[in-house]
Amino acid sequence: MARLAIFTERYTIRSSIELTALSNFRMAAFELDHELDFIFKNELKYLKNYDAVLIRALTDPLNTSYVVARAVEMLGRRVLDTSDSIRICCDKVNMYGRLDAAGVPIPVTRYLAPAEVTPAAATLLFETLGSPLVLKAPNSSFSAYVDKVTTTEAFVRVGRRFLRRADRLVVQQYLPSEFDWRVITLHGRVLAVVQYRFARDAWKAMQRGDAGESAVTTCMSRHEAPARLLEVAIKAGAAIGDSLYGVDLKEIDGDFVVIEVNDNPTIAATEEDQANPEIYTDIVRYLVDGPASFAGRD
pLDDT tens column, 100-138: 999 999 999 999 999 999 999 999 999 999 999 999 999
pLDDT score at 207: 58
Q: Where are the beta strands (DSSP E) in the chain?
A: 3-8, 35-39, 52-56, 78-80, 109-112, 133-136, 146-149, 169-173, 179-186, 189-197, 216-220, 244-252, 255-263
Confidence of residue 83 (pLDDT cuts 50, 70, 90): very high
**What ranges do the domains of the chain cover?**
3-89, 108-173, 179-278+285-291
User: What type of residue sits at position 79?
Assistant: V
Query: Does residue 244 sit in helix, strand or coil?
Result: strand
pLDDT score at 27: 97
Q: Which CATH superfamily does the domain covering 108-173 fall into?
A: ATP-grasp fold, A domain (3.30.1490.20)
pLDDT score at 13: 76
Measured between alpha carbons, how far is 167 from 156 in angstroms, rounded to an integer? 15
CATH 3.30.365.10 fits 3-89, yes or no: no
Q: What is the mean pLDDT of the chain?
A: 92
Measured between alpha carbons, how far is 4 from 7 in angstroms, rounded to an integer? 10
pLDDT score at 24: 96
- The DSSP output letter for 198 is P
Kindly state the helix (H) or strand (E) to which residue 1 belongs, with its residue range: none
- Hey, what's the torsion of the CAs at 173, 149, 249, 202, to 10 degrees? -150
CATH assignment, 179-278+285-291: 3.30.470.20
DSSP codes, 44-112? GGGGGG-SEEEEES---TTSHHHHHHHHHHHTT-EEES-HHHHHHHT-HHHHHHHHHHTT-----EEEE
Contact 31, 284 (CB under 8 A): no
- Bridge partners (DSSP) of residue 173 are 133
Tens digit of each residue's pLDDT (9 = 90 or more) over 218-277: 899 989 999 999 999 999 999 999 999 999 999 998 899 999 999 999 999 988 999 999
pLDDT score at 211: 62
Average pLDDT on 194-208 reads 72
pLDDT score at 196: 87
Cα angle 251-147-135, degrees, rounded to a multiple of 5 = 85
